[in-house]
């Protein structure tokens, strides 16, 4: 495998945090990061190319095309790393983590790494929790004090989890924030905007950002309504599992 980073701007890292969010279950991590990114002034500073990404050429409306690549942005005192996909194997996921962190630490000091992901549950309430796990008690205590729920056990797969472990190798405090995600949304391959909102609300406190996440409520309501209607249709032929309007438990 080959993973290379193409610099687009000259920069130095000066005790700044890195936020990571790539597609995963419910697209929670990807949606969380990109929502925050869309609401701060930012510039792209580098692109990450890897043979572990799918070998797809993405053709735009004008015909201009590009590979699936990772993109590193800088804005509002943070670095952001995201992509439209994840590597297709564990070797590639680990390699991307190493190359990204190695590239940044060679340019200065990363103060912390926070990644974003989903924690899938069969049933959830309207108010979602944001679970946290990390490689340092200090960073976990801060996230818990801001409203995070400590994750006691489990395995976090993909770059969103692995980057926390690789951060320890580079001597960087790191944590992953996981939005409580309704399993039905994952099964229907939809985006859990309410889980993403829980992640965003915790991260904006942690980073001291002034970002309004309320627009996600409308998207969440629409997605959940669509899922409930689909589940209702699936349950109707047998007459089992019929739900009273207004009595749904997500």
Q: Is residue 247 part of a domain?
A: no
Q: Is residue 241 part of a domain?
A: no
CA dihedral 20, 24, 28, 31 (to 10 degrees): 60
Q: Determine the average pLDDT of the residues in 89-108.
A: 97
Domain that holds residue 139: 3-214
Q: Which two tokens stand for residue 231?
A: 């589940």
Q: What is the mean pLDDT of the chain?
A: 92
How many structural domains is the chain composed of? Answer: 1
d(CA 110, CA 171): 9
Instruction: Give the residues across from 167 on adjacent strands.
Output: none
Q: Is residue 140 part of a domain?
A: yes
Q: Determine the average pLDDT of the residues in 164-180.
A: 98
Q: Is residue 172 part of a domain?
A: yes
- Return the CA Rg of the chain: 19
d(CA 33, CA 71): 12
For residue range 12-22, list pLDDT tens digits in order.
999 999 999 99
Q: Is residue 237 part of a domain?
A: no
pLDDT at site 180 = 97
- Sequence-distant (6+) residues with CB within 8 A of 164 are 113, 115, 133, 134, 135, 156, 174, 175, 176
For residue range 185-218, list pLDDT tens digits in order.
999 999 999 999 999 999 999 999 999 999 999 9
CATH number at residue 129: 3.40.50.10900
pLDDT at site 189 = 95
Q: Is residue 48 part of a domain?
A: yes
Q: Is residue 9 part of a domain?
A: yes
Q: Is residue 230 part of a domain?
A: no
Q: Determine the average pLDDT of the residues in 133-141.
A: 96
For residue range 109-136, list pLDDT tens digits in order.
999 999 999 999 999 988 999 999 999 9
Q: Which of the 8 DSSP states describes residue 13? A: E
User: Which pTM does this prediction carry?
Assistant: 0.91
């Amino acid at each position: 495998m080959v993973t290379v980073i193409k610099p687009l701007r000259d920069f130095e890292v000066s005790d700044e945090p890195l936020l990571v969010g790539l597609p995963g279950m419910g697209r929670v991590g990807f949606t969380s990061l990109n929502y925050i990114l869309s609401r701060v002034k930012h510039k792209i500073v580098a692109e990450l190319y890897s043979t572990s990404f799918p070998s797809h050429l993405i053709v735009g409306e004008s015909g201009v095309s590009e590979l699936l690549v990772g993109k590193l942005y800088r804005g509002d005192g943070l670095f952001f790393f995201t992509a439209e996909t994840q590597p297709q194997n564990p070797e590639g996921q680990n390699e991307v983590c190493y190359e990204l962190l190695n590239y940044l630490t060679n340019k200065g000091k990363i103060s912390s790494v926070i990644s974003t992901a989903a924690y899938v549950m069969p049933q959830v309430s309207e108010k979602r929790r944001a679970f946290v796990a990390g490689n340092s008690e200090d960073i976990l205590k801060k996230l818990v004090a801001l409203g995070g729920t400590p994750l006691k056990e489990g395995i976090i797969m993909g770059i969103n989890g692995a980057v926390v472990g690789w951060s320890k190798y580079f001597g960087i405090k790191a944590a992953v924030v996981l939005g409580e995600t309704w399993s039905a949304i994952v099964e229907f391959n939809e985006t859990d905007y309410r889980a993403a909102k829980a992640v965003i609300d915790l991260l904006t406190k942690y980073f001291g950002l002034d970002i309004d996440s309320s627009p996600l409520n409308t998207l969440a309501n629409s997605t959940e309504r669509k899922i409930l209607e689909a589940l209702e249709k699936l349950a109707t032929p047998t007459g089992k599992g019929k739900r009273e309007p207004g009595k749904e438990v997500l």
